[in-house]
Amino acid sequence: MSAIAGTSPGLMSARAPLWRRLIGFNLLTGIVLGVGGWYLGHWIGTEIHGVSLAYFSATAGENDIAIMLGYLLGVLGFLIGLGFAVYPVQRVFGGQPTLAERESHEHGLLRYFSLSTDHKVVAKQYMVGIGFFFFIGGLNAMAIRTELLQPNTHVFGANQYLTLVGMHGSMMMGIFTSGVLGPFANWLVPIMIGSRRMAFPRIESLTFWLLMAAGVVLITTIFFGGFQTGWTGYQPLGDQGTAGYDAYIGFFALVGVSMTLLGFNLIVTIVTMRAPGMTWSRLPIFVWSVLATAGLMVLAAPTLIATLLMAAMDRSVQTAFFIPGQGGSPYLFQNLFWVFGHPEVYVLALPGFGIVLELLPVFTRKPLWGYRLAVAGILGVGILSFFVWQHHLFVSGINADLRPFFSLSTELISIPTGFIFLCALGTLWRGRIRFTVPMLFCLAWAFNFLWGGVSGIFLADVPSDVTTHGSFFVMAHFHYTIMGGLIFAFFAAIYYWVPKMYGYKLSERLGKVHFWIMFLAFNSTFAPLFALGFLGMPRRVITYATNLQGLNDWVSASAYVLGLSLLLFLVNAVWSLVFKREPAERNPWQSKSIEWQLPTPVPLHDFEQLPVFDGDPYPYGDGRVPVPAVAPVGEGG
Amino acid sequence: MSGDGRTRGKGARHDARNVTLLWLLASAIMTPIVVFVFGPHLPPGHGSNEAAGQVVDNTVLLAAAAPIALGVLVFIAYSLWAFREREPQLQADGVPLRGNSSVQFWWIVATTTVALSLSGYGIIRLLETGAGGGQGPEPIAVPPHASNALQVQVIAQQWQFTYRWPSFGGVETREIELPAHTLIEFNVTSLDVIHSFWAYQLGVKADANPGVNNIAYVTTRGPLAFEVRCAELCGVWHGYMYNGGQVVPRARFASWIARARLQYAPATRNLSPYSKTYFPEPQRRAG
């Protein structure tokens, strides 16, 4: 075992030649072993399939067992190549866990391409990795809008188009579950609660590399004929699908594992690793939102994993959980999927609430208004989100007598969401508002999420939902809540925290240009979709009524501008962080929260001495010293 | 309105009064516009009793949503204008308000009241006739005289809808015509994957599940043409799964269905007997 550990780059001096450092546990090894694992799994699957041909009639021409085993062993090989097996194997043979501590001292670019136990490195890995898949998902959206420029002249084939739709949805709904928790919670939560690390640093890294593996698995669907089901993957349509649907299963199952682990890691960190004085009533509101989100992840994602396992078994070993002709039920899949799926959309929304409520006090120079109400709102939304899932199935014929209950529970969610709005409004009231780029994005969140919420009333109301269900109205609704809510909050967080995370300023001027183009183009893209839905355009169609072409072209044109605004952000980020590299001040926003009191860049173990918290996190306007008192050396831990 | 003036109690009352007045003014203008200008044009039109009911429903929701949204927008707009930083060189902080229990209490009372009333209204409307939505094999919202309803079976398959008429010899047609001013009972089912029967102008949407009979009621009004679209992703040609139908006077319907029976007679002889579902061994495990 020591021989394996000895080849790890983490144990080597940074002065060793590059080729020598590339041999060991890193991304390169991971890719090599991943590809090897794929072929091994595929070969085993083919052998099994040969034996079992007599029992299972192979119908579709592709061998799903081989492909699924290929994904499984490929991902395992990838993780082993990155070095995730070293620690457990060492422990099994009685070794001492030394690797992590040494790895944390690794400097240079290579640490971003290997297993890192530094929460700040993992956060930056997440930032770039999620950014990459967000970019791919965005390109898919551009392709979809290009196809919809014309009702009857096609750019893509019908199957290609549906694969684009499914990849866009899965990429955004799957990868972006960790969009805020990956980069920002991993970076901020330990610092905000006064800890030097996450509770499980190796698992923290594992969640990231699992998510990257998931993204790659999803992209491989294009080699197997794509999938026709959209991100919801309904059965028995999925069961009909080509092997591309196996990639969908593998993708979402890996995302589910990553979500579950990330959730547990954050919960344990927040519950057990708070510094002295960090009581529950002093927890920054962002950490509360992370805690609630992590709770949703831990409770919802396992349902997804189980559901997809059942779907995988239906496809490979001929079970019939969802096959109606053999006693299965498509309703079962819909039910299970949305038991996961509705908490999932709040996994996307809640961190946005947290970011906005965390940033508003800084730029209004006021304490957060109604802290306890905000906490109640976040927890209330989180809890209620488990009791609303059948509003996705109002016209499906399932449990029709439960529709009044699900309509009621859905409407009730507007009450805790209202708490969040009240706290945001109260924080604006009589502040001294500074219109910085992060503040502009927070205000846009409030504007966009308002329309998302108002349109949600129509979908919660069964008679109104009969027309709007499955139409572009629904699409406009969830783009307003997720893109208009989460993504705008996400950019607020980027403009606000990146100077501290990366140590370089982002251009404020380009930021404002980015904001205004993105805000206007976003509304110009998605507001007409409400009208299109009202006019009867169903989702996920490659063709539509010719009288809707004008509106669709307007939407497509706006979508291109929206895409360009995101490219503008990319230009800003690359220019500011890679070329200009103007060092950021320690606290450019005059924030009073703890991460801004640390030096830039933040040192390896965050705190020289663990802080002691002695007051609420938003001491604006009452003259209190913002820097938390520092504990004597050796205290806490 | 200097920066100092706002920090005193009088300034706060002044601002609160301004916001309230602006909100009332905006609501007084916008709510009637929403109800009387937008309302009549809201979907899905007045092609059936259920569709017209949905228009009323949409209007009520929009009328209730308008003052709520305006309240938030007016408050934000006013705050951004009145409380913007005018003296950035001072580096001063805002008024350290940490909450107000009576504001919070009345906010909770107000939002709860609105949410419960909207929800109650929607549930009552739903339970009248089912609002045109699919209600599964055992509907709970059944219109009066439902036993006399004209039964129309909608059979969805990849990628077309066909219609079967149990009261006319079980004939199966590719087209759909419906008699005017008649209560219709749609029995929606599928032969393969999940589809959704969406007759936009009639205000009907019901998922077509293999092995399930999903019932939706609708009472037609005067003659009109309506579109039928599949509203659930059902595979490659989902986008092309649509056709049109018509509501026609009863006499015309009678002659149309009589002609259809003749035209499709050879096919009808070879059809399997009429049934609520056609899926092989429909061992359904609903719920």
- Report, as ranges of residue numbers, the positions in chain B whose pLDDT lies below 70: 1-10, 280-287
In a domain, A618, yes or no: no
Inter-helix orientation angle A488-502/A508-534, to 10°: 160
Comparing C-alpha atoms, which of B70, B58, B4, B78 is closest to residue B31? B70
How many domains would you assign to chain B?
A: 2
Comparing C-alpha atoms, which of A274, A266, A91 is closest to residue A177? A266
Q: How close B258 comes to chain A (CA, Å)?
A: 32
Show residues of chain B in contact with A390, CB under 8 Å: none
Indicate if B66 and B177 belong to the same structural domain: no
* Pairing of the two strands B171-173 and B160-165: antiparallel
Task: Report the pLDDT value the prediction gives residue A282, as an integer from 0 to 100.
Answer: 93
User: How far is residue A301's CA from residue A346's CA, in Å, rounded to a whole number?
Assistant: 12
Helix (H) or strand (E) segment spanning residue A496: helix A488-502
Q: How close A453 comes to chain B (CA, Å)?
A: 9
Task: Report the pLDDT value the prediction gives residue A324, as an integer from 0 to 100.
Answer: 85
Task: Report the pLDDT value the prediction gives residue A622, as an integer from 0 to 100.
Answer: 74
Contact A422 B107 (CB under 8 A): yes
Of A259-268, A397-406, B8-17, give the range with the top mean pLDDT. A259-268
Indicate if B65 and B160 belong to the same structural domain: no
A45 falls in which pLDDT band (50, 70, 90)? confident
Q: Is the pLDDT of residue A61 over 70?
A: no
Contact B115 A367 (CB under 8 A): no
- Domain CATH for A262: 1.20.210.10
Residue B28 domain boundaries: 3-84+102-129
Comparing C-alpha atoms, which of A415, A372, A423 is closest to residue B108? A415
Task: Report the pLDDT value the prediction gives residue A23, as an integer from 0 to 100.
Answer: 77
Indicate the residue of B94, B139, B204 with minimum beta-carbon distance to A364: B94
Q: In chain B, positions 20-79, which contact chain A (CB-CB < 8 Å)?
A: 42-44, 50, 53-54, 57-58, 61, 64-65, 68-69, 72-73, 75-76, 79
User: How far is residue A528's CA from residue A256's CA, in Å, rounded to a whole number?
Assistant: 33
Show residues of chain B in contact with A428, CB under 8 Å: 75-76, 79-80, 83
Cis? peptide before A445, omega within 30° of 0: no
Which chain A residue is nearest to residue B212, measuring alpha carbons? A397
Task: Report the pLDDT value the prediction gives residue A634, as an integer from 0 to 100.
Answer: 41
> Model ipTM?
0.93
Which chain A residue is nearest to residue B11, measuring alpha carbons? A430
User: How far is residue A177's CA from residue A343's CA, in Å, rounded to a whole number?
Assistant: 11
Cis? peptide before A588, omega within 30° of 0: no
- Domain CATH for B206: 2.60.40.420
Task: Report the pLDDT value the prediction gives residue B168, as an integer from 0 to 100.
Answer: 94
Which chain B residue is nearest to residue A239, measuring alpha carbons? B193
In a domain, A306, yes or no: yes
Indicate if B108 and B180 belong to the same structural domain: no
In a domain, A236, yes or no: yes
The answer for residues whose C-beta is within 8 angstroms of residue A61's C-beta and 6 or more apart is none
In a domain, B136, yes or no: no
Indicate the residue of B96, B118, B198 with minimum beta-carbon distance to A621: B96
Q: Which two tokens stand for residue B186?
A: 């749609």
Extract long-range pairs of A313-322: CB within 8 Å, 24+ residues apart. A314/A235, A314/A239, A315/A64, A315/A68, A315/A238, A315/A239, A315/A245, A315/A246, A315/A249, A316/A64, A316/A65, A316/A68, A317/A56, A317/A65, A318/A56, A322/A235, A322/A236, A322/A238, A322/A239
Q: pLDDT for A584-614, tens place per residue? A: 999 999 998 899 989 888 888 888 888 888 8
Give the mutation candidate from B73, B111, B284 for the A interface (greatest A CB count, under 10 A).
Answer: B111
- Residues present in chain B in total: 287
Q: What is the mean pLDDT of residues A141-168?
A: 94
Indicate if B263 and B194 belong to the same structural domain: yes
In a domain, B246, yes or no: yes
Q: How close A104 comes to chain B (CA, Å)?
A: 39
In a domain, B181, yes or no: yes
Task: Report the pLDDT value the prediction gives residue A137, as an integer from 0 to 100.
Answer: 95
In a domain, A272, yes or no: yes
Identify whether the C-beta of residue B54 lies closer than 8 Å to the C-beta of residue B203: yes
Indicate if B121 and B201 belong to the same structural domain: no
> Looking at this protein, which amino acid is placed at residue A46?
T
Task: Report the pLDDT value the prediction gives residue A319, as an integer from 0 to 100.
Answer: 87
Indicate if B117 and B173 belong to the same structural domain: no
Q: Is the pLDDT of residue A307 over 50?
A: yes
In a domain, B95, yes or no: no
Q: pLDDT for A442-497, tens place per residue? A: 999 999 999 999 999 999 999 999 999 999 999 999 999 999 999 999 999 999 99
Contact A458 B140 (CB under 8 A): no
Q: In chain B, positions 74-113, which contact chain A (CB-CB < 8 Å)?
A: 75-76, 79-80, 83-85, 88, 91-100, 103-104, 107-108, 111-112
Which chain B residue is nearest to residue A461, measuring alpha carbons? B122
Size of interface A-B (CB pairs under 8 A): 313
Identify whether the C-beta of residue A595 lies closer than 8 Å to the C-beta of residue A188: yes
Indicate the residue of B95, B205, B227 with minimum beta-carbon distance to A621: B95
Q: How close B158 comes to chain A (CA, Å)?
A: 10
In a domain, B70, yes or no: yes
Which chain B residue is nearest to residue A321, measuring alpha carbons? B285
In a domain, B39, yes or no: yes
Show residues of chain A in contact with B140, CB under 8 Å: 400-401
Indicate if B42 and B119 belong to the same structural domain: yes
Q: Is the pLDDT of residue A619 over 70?
A: yes
Largest CA distance in chain A: 80
3 state SS of A164: helix
Indicate if B117 and B176 belong to the same structural domain: no
In a domain, B237, yes or no: yes
Q: Is the pLDDT of residue A6 over 70?
A: no
User: Percent of chain A having pLDDT more than 90?
Assistant: 73
Identify whether the C-beta of residue A164 lies closer than 8 Å to the C-beta of residue A209: no
Contact B214 A396 (CB under 8 A): yes
Give the mutation candidate from B13, B101, B232, B276 for the A interface (greatest A CB count, under 10 A).
Answer: B232
In a domain, B140, yes or no: no
Q: Is the pLDDT of residue A241 over 50?
A: yes
Tokens 């949204």 belong to which residue? B69
Task: Report the pLDDT value the prediction gives residue A52, as an integer from 0 to 100.
Answer: 58
Which chain A residue is nearest to residue B81, measuring alpha carbons? A433
The answer for residues whose C-beta is within 8 angstroms of residue B13's C-beta and 6 or more apart is none
Q: Is the pLDDT of residue A113 over 60?
A: yes
User: Mean pLDDT score of chain A, rounded to an integer?
Assistant: 89
Show residues of chain A in contact with B96, CB under 8 Å: 366-367, 620-622
The pTM for the full model equals 0.92
Q: Is the pLDDT of residue A65 over 90?
A: no
Q: Is the pLDDT of residue A57 over 80?
A: no
**Pick the residue with more confidence: A49 or A471?**
A471
How many domains would you assign to chain A?
A: 1
Residue A222 domain boundaries: 116-594
Task: Report the pLDDT value the prediction gives residue A59, as an integer from 0 to 100.
Answer: 44
In a domain, A629, yes or no: no
Indicate if B205 and B231 belong to the same structural domain: yes
Task: Report the pLDDT value the prediction gives residue A106, as an integer from 0 to 100.
Answer: 59
Indicate if B80 and B106 belong to the same structural domain: yes
Q: What is the mean pLDDT of residues A28-46?
A: 92
Indicate if B115 and B150 belong to the same structural domain: no
The answer for residues whose C-beta is within 8 angstroms of residue B238's C-beta and 6 or more apart is A162, A540, A541, A542, B159, B230, B232
Indicate if B118 and B197 belong to the same structural domain: no
In a domain, A106, yes or no: no
